[in-house]
Structure 1
Amino acid sequence: MSSRTMTRRLGLGDAVFIGIGSMVGAGVFSAFAPAAQAAGAGLLIGLGLAAIVAFGNATSSAQLAAAHPTSGGTYAYGRAEIGPWSGFLAGWGFVVGKLASAAAMALTFAAYAAPPGWERPVAALAVVALASVNWFGVTRTALATRVIVTVVLLTLAVATAAATASPAAADQLTVDGLLSGGAYGILQSAGLLFFAFAGYARIATLGEEVRNPTHTIPRAITIAFAVALAVYAVIGVVVLTSLGPAGLAASSAPVADAAAGSGWAWAVPIVRVGAAAASLGALLALIAGIGRTMLAMAREGDLPRPLAALHPRWDVPYRAEVVVAVVVVAAVLLVDLRGAIGFSSFGVLVYYLVANIAAFRQRDSARRYPRALQAVGAIGCVVLAVTLPWQAVVGGLVVFAVGVGYRLVRLRLTRGA
């Protein structure tokens, strides 16, 4: 086990780009279709609810990160402010849920970039390539993320211009249309769209590598969240008015389909390149975030301690990132990941529930935001978690039960040693 801490190399701009890359890549090309299946045009209300809950969670994460500028995010915060079990549940939910997310992002990239029949091998190669980028240090990760985010935002600007040339279903944005999915459907869409906002956690998990973290991390989380919300709001309206609720629900590539419907044929390949880049950006940030959380858990013995080792030259948790790459490659080659968004959302909602409770318990000297925001975040996490598709809830509960069993066995073996 390594007792070394990591070198602080990231500035505000680096942290903001990593947050934007995590959120925009993860959600804008993948989350709107299942949300439309749940709520139709009501997904826009769901997006607003998800944003409110996410804002509560973001402020909790920012407040905690300022007080605990170390690797591991809510795993470290939960241990410090509540206790070891709370930290473990947060870390376990994050690692398992985000491993599924990483595999889903790799397959999303391959769906846009690979020829038919080659999606899984190409996805596996993408995982290996990005794990290699992370291996050579966080500054390489930050530079690659800046390039990817710039490509993605330019692509979304092209897609928006193309899709707004001929909106086909603007009449769905009426009160009746927005409420047609019912309260349960809207809440379910909010839970699914929450998946798209969860990327700001990546900024907190890199807390040990950010310069002046007490000021940089809270600012980076707020800026990245605001940019992502603006992008989601614009794209949500665009794809809904272009494709209609039914068309959006049936689409596997809604942004590309919205651009194609305009008659701007030249825009479609640009959008597909941007979607592939967005998926790569999310995957890059996920590998970094999961590795840092595993590092923190290994330091405390909640995962095998050898995973806490830092590379002597590149100063990264290289063993943890190798494990992440191996697991994700196995998942993309062997597992059907169509339910990954719901499953990941459940794990991340538990993660942020712990964050909100931890922030609520902080003393006044550490407080940056009112406790009411943390209460809204915590209540929202519970409501959105229980209204996810039942398969995601059951799968999530099983995964947490396995984690609890693992930790109980480990504690018993440790005491008996």
Structure 2
Amino acid sequence: MTKQLIRTTQLKGALTIGLGSILGTGAYVSVGLGASIAGESLIWAILLAAFTALCNGLSSAQLAAAHPVSGGTYEYGYRFLNPASGVTAGALFIIAKSASAATAALAVAWYVNSFFAVSEWLIKASAICLLLLLTIFVLLGVRRTNRLNAVIVAASVLGLLVFIGVAFNTSVNTSAVKAPVASGSLSVFHAAALMFVAFTGYGRIATMGEEIAEPRRNIPRAVILTLIIVSVLYIMVGLAILHMGRIVTFDQNGFNIANLMNDSPWQWLVSLGGIVAMSGVVLNLVLGVSRVILAMGRRGDLPTFLAQLDKDSKSAPAATWVTFLVMAFIALTGGIESTWTLSAFTVLIYYGITNIAALKVSHEERFIPKALSVVGLISCAGLVILAALA
């Protein structure tokens, strides 16, 4: 019998994992990137990404409740579709989320660089050191990781609320230089495709289905609550950026919303919030990707030694170390913009498979209508095609 991870995570823990996985690169970097692409249509891009995320999140919740094991759509593909779909989903998840983790780690390093001017190679080294540190936290067990998540989420939200408060108390700077913003009719879809990946931290809740207590009740609730909270915060941050009148060209190595507050004494607090938030994203991505690698090791799609658990069945050491190596390689060889774009397109394809699998859940196990999964599938395919044409 395959050794299983212990169900120690309750609704509160699942919610903090979801928030900790999202409130980082999305709020502190991606909204600004979306503004540089969509301009005044930024809010529409956020709403479109949020709607797509809601449909996909409910499909993920449906699958996780019906088949609550670690591995996410990798396992769902096997269970509800066929082995090829499962392996494809697993590979896409590892690529997409490793790229997201590398993006977040590099962004943290560049945030720190806003205080201390250091060389680019040292920034890369700092990103890899961050990945190593948070990998060790994951190996200490998910219960301890949940405690850290709560602190990370609180700091992340505080930084965002300070930014929003300062922004709306700042007079509109009509003399600020605005960089040219894409004006094509498809720019909002391009921005939405990149913004979508900023919502997908809810997937970490599903990939940890084996560790969440009462999964049929807690997983759907955690997904929905996570998306509601994040959508409200993203919209508020987007409105704050537009209010400040400082839409700037995205600097792939250095953009952060704190850059828009150069004349504010609160800039340091927003920068600190960004550093903590994106560290939380890395932490949860290490956790999520390692669980997919664990699942692939169990089935033999990856070497079987990756399926080994520690003696307390609270962590998967081999899978977690391989996760670190993949993320460190991407961070070493890529930049923020390229890794974020790679993550966006691969994760949209991944969730396309998720929606197809959700359509196969039996009527007895279903709690969402099939129409939601159909809309989610169309949304994913549409964003990939329209963003590519933009």
TM surpasses 0.5:
yes
Q: In the alignment, what sits opposite 1:174?
A: none
Q: In the alignment, what sits opposite 1:213?
A: 215
Specify which of 217, 228, 237 is matched with residue 239 of structure 2.
Answer: 237
Q: Go from structure 1 to structure 2 and tell me whether the alpha carbon gap of 1:310 and 1:165 turns closer, same or farther (over 3 Å shift).
A: same
Q: In the alignment, what sits opposite 1:188?
A: 190
Q: Secondary structure at the match of 1:30?
A: helix
Q: Percent identity?
A: 34
Using the TM superposition, give the Cα deviation of residue 89 of structure 1 relative to its aligned residue in structure 2, in angstroms: 1.3
Q: In the alignment, what sits opposite 1:133?
A: 137
Q: In the alignment, what sits opposite 1:269?
A: 268
The CA distance in 1 between the partners of 2:197 and 2:88, in whole Å, is: 18
Q: In the alignment, what sits opposite 1:404?
A: none
Using the TM superposition, give the Cα deviation of residue 388 of structure 1 relative to its aligned residue in structure 2, in angstroms: 3.2
Does the CA-based 8 Å contact 1:74-1:91 persist in structure 2? yes
Using the TM superposition, give the Cα deviation of residue 257 of structure 1 relative to its aligned residue in structure 2, in angstroms: 2.7
Using the TM superposition, give the Cα deviation of residue 3 of structure 1 relative to its aligned residue in structure 2, in angstroms: 2.1
Q: Secondary structure at the match of 1:338?
A: helix
Deviations 1:271-314 (A, max 9, x none): 11111001100000000000001111111111111111111136
Query: How many residues of Structure 1 are paired with residues of Structure 2 in the alignment?
Result: 379
Does the CA-based 8 Å contact 1:248-1:254 persist in structure 2? no
Q: In the alignment, what sits opposite 1:161?
A: 165
The CA distance in 2 between the partners of 1:55 and 1:150, in whole Å, is: 23
The CA distance in 2 between the partners of 1:283 and 1:254, in whole Å, is: 17
Does the CA-based 8 Å contact 2:190-2:388 persist in structure 1? yes
Q: Go from structure 1 to structure 2 and tell me whether the alpha carbon gap of 1:314 and 1:78 turns closer, same or farther (over 3 Å shift).
A: closer
The CA distance in 2 between the partners of 1:361 and 1:68, in whole Å, is: 12
Moved more, 29-38 or 67-76: 29-38
Q: In the alignment, what sits opposite 1:350?
A: 349
The CA distance in 2 between the partners of 1:145 and 1:320, in whole Å, is: 21
Q: Secondary structure at the match of 2:275?
A: helix
Using the TM superposition, give the Cα deviation of residue 39 of structure 1 relative to its aligned residue in structure 2, in angstroms: 1.8
Q: Secondary structure at the match of 1:369?
A: coil
Q: Go from structure 1 to structure 2 and tell me whether the alpha carbon gap of 1:338 and 1:361 turns closer, same or farther (over 3 Å shift).
A: same
Using the TM superposition, give the Cα deviation of residue 127 of structure 1 relative to its aligned residue in structure 2, in angstroms: 0.7
TM-score, normalisation: structure 2 = 0.92
Moved more, 234-243 or 308-317: 308-317
The answer to whether the aligner puts 1:106 opposite 2:86 as a matched pair is no
The CA distance in 1 between the partners of 2:287 and 2:46, in whole Å, is: 27
Moved more, 21-30 or 198-207: 21-30
Q: Secondary structure at the match of 1:388?
A: helix
Alignment of 1:238-253 (within 5 A): 238-245=240-247, 247=248, 249=250, 252-253=254-255
Using the TM superposition, give the Cα deviation of residue 214 of structure 1 relative to its aligned residue in structure 2, in angstroms: 1.2
The answer to whether the aligner puts 1:311 opposite 2:310 as a matched pair is yes
Does the CA-based 8 Å contact 1:42-1:181 persist in structure 2? no
- Please provide the CA RMSD for this pair: 2.1
Does the CA-based 8 Å contact 2:135-2:283 persist in structure 1? yes
Unaligned runs of 5+ in 2: 175-180
Moved more, 74-83 or 251-260: 251-260
The CA distance in 1 between the partners of 2:235 and 2:211, in whole Å, is: 31
Deviations 1:368-403 (A, max 9, x none): 111111111000000111233579xxxxxxxxxxxx
Moved more, 371-380 or 359-368: 359-368
The CA distance in 1 between the partners of 2:389 and 2:186, in whole Å, is: 12
The CA distance in 1 between the partners of 2:105 and 2:259, in whole Å, is: 21
Does the CA-based 8 Å contact 1:40-1:249 persist in structure 2? no
The answer to whether the aligner puts 1:383 opposite 2:382 as a matched pair is yes
Specify which of 117, 142, 145 is matched with residue 146 of structure 2.
Answer: 142
Specify which of 174, 199, 202 is matched with residue 200 of structure 1.
Answer: 202
Q: Go from structure 1 to structure 2 and tell me whether the alpha carbon gap of 1:268 and 1:75 turns closer, same or farther (over 3 Å shift).
A: same
Using the TM superposition, give the Cα deviation of residue 77 of structure 1 relative to its aligned residue in structure 2, in angstroms: 1.1
Using the TM superposition, give the Cα deviation of residue 141 of structure 1 relative to its aligned residue in structure 2, in angstroms: 1.3
The CA distance in 1 between the partners of 2:153 and 2:10, in whole Å, is: 17
Does the CA-based 8 Å contact 1:86-1:354 persist in structure 2? yes
Does the CA-based 8 Å contact 1:357-1:374 persist in structure 2? yes
Q: Go from structure 1 to structure 2 and tell me whether the alpha carbon gap of 1:34 and 1:335 turns closer, same or farther (over 3 Å shift).
A: same
Residue type at the aligned position of 1:34: L
Unaligned runs of 5+ in 1: 171-178, 392-417
Q: Secondary structure at the match of 1:327?
A: helix
Does the CA-based 8 Å contact 2:246-2:260 persist in structure 1? no
Q: Go from structure 1 to structure 2 and tell me whether the alpha carbon gap of 1:167 and 1:296 turns closer, same or farther (over 3 Å shift).
A: farther
The answer to whether the aligner puts 1:225 opposite 2:203 as a matched pair is no
